[in-house]
Structure 1
Amino acid sequence: MTKAKKAEFRPNDYVVYPAHGVGQIVSIEEQEIAGLSLELFVISFEKDKMTLRVPTHKATEVGMRSLSSPDVVDAAMKTLKGKAKVKRAMWSRRAQEYEQKINSGDLIAIAEVVRDLHRADDQREQSYSERQLYEAALERLTREIAAVSGDEVAAARQVDEVLGLRAA
Structure 2
Amino acid sequence: MATNPKKAAQRQGFKTGEYIVYPAHGVGQITAIEEQNVAGHSLELLVIVFEQDKMTLRVPVAKIASVGMRKLGDPAAVKKALETVRGRPRVKRTMWSRRAQEYEAKINSGDLNAISEVVRDLFRSDSQPEQSYSERQLYEAALDRMAREIAAVNKCSETEAVKQIEQNLAKSPSRLKAAAAAEAEAEAEDDEDKEEAA
**1:115 aligns with one of 117, 120, 127:** 120
2:107–2:118 CA contact under 8 A, matched in 1: yes
Count of matched residue positions in the alignment of Structure 1 and Structure 2: 164
Q: Deviation digits for residues 92-119 of structure 1, max 9, x if unmatched?
A: 0000000000000000000000000000
Letter of the 1:70 counterpart: P
5+ long unaligned stretches in structure 2: 1-9, 177-198
Quote the Cα distance in structure 1 between the aligned partners of 2:78 and 2:52.
21
**2:163 aligns with one of 151, 157, 160:** 157
Matching of residues 73-84 of structure 1 within 5 Å: 73-84=78-89
Question: Which stretches of structure 1, 4 residues or longer, exceed 3 Å deviation after superposition?
Answer: none
Is 1:39 equivalent to 2:44 in the alignment? yes
RMSD between superposed Cα atoms in Å: 1.1
Instruction: Tell me the TM-score normalized by structure 1.
Output: 0.94
5+ long unaligned stretches in structure 1: none
Letter of the 2:94 counterpart: A
Secondary structure at the aligned position of 1:120 is classed as coil
Quote the Cα distance in structure 2 between the aligned partners of 1:156 and 1:135.
11
Quote the Cα distance in structure 2 between the aligned partners of 1:111 and 1:34.
43
**Bigger shift: 16-25 or 145-154?**
145-154
Partner of 2:134: 129
Larger Rg, first or second structure (1 or 2): 2
Deviation for aligned residue 1:7: 4.5
2:143–2:162 CA contact under 8 A, matched in 1: no
Letter of the 1:26 counterpart: T
Quote the Cα distance in structure 1 between the aligned partners of 2:38 and 2:59.
13
Deviation for aligned residue 1:33: 1.9
Deviation for aligned residue 1:36: 1.4
Quote the Cα distance in structure 2 between the aligned partners of 1:131 and 1:157.
18
Quote the Cα distance in structure 2 between the aligned partners of 1:135 and 1:33.
39
Matching of residues 43-54 of structure 1 within 5 Å: 43-54=48-59
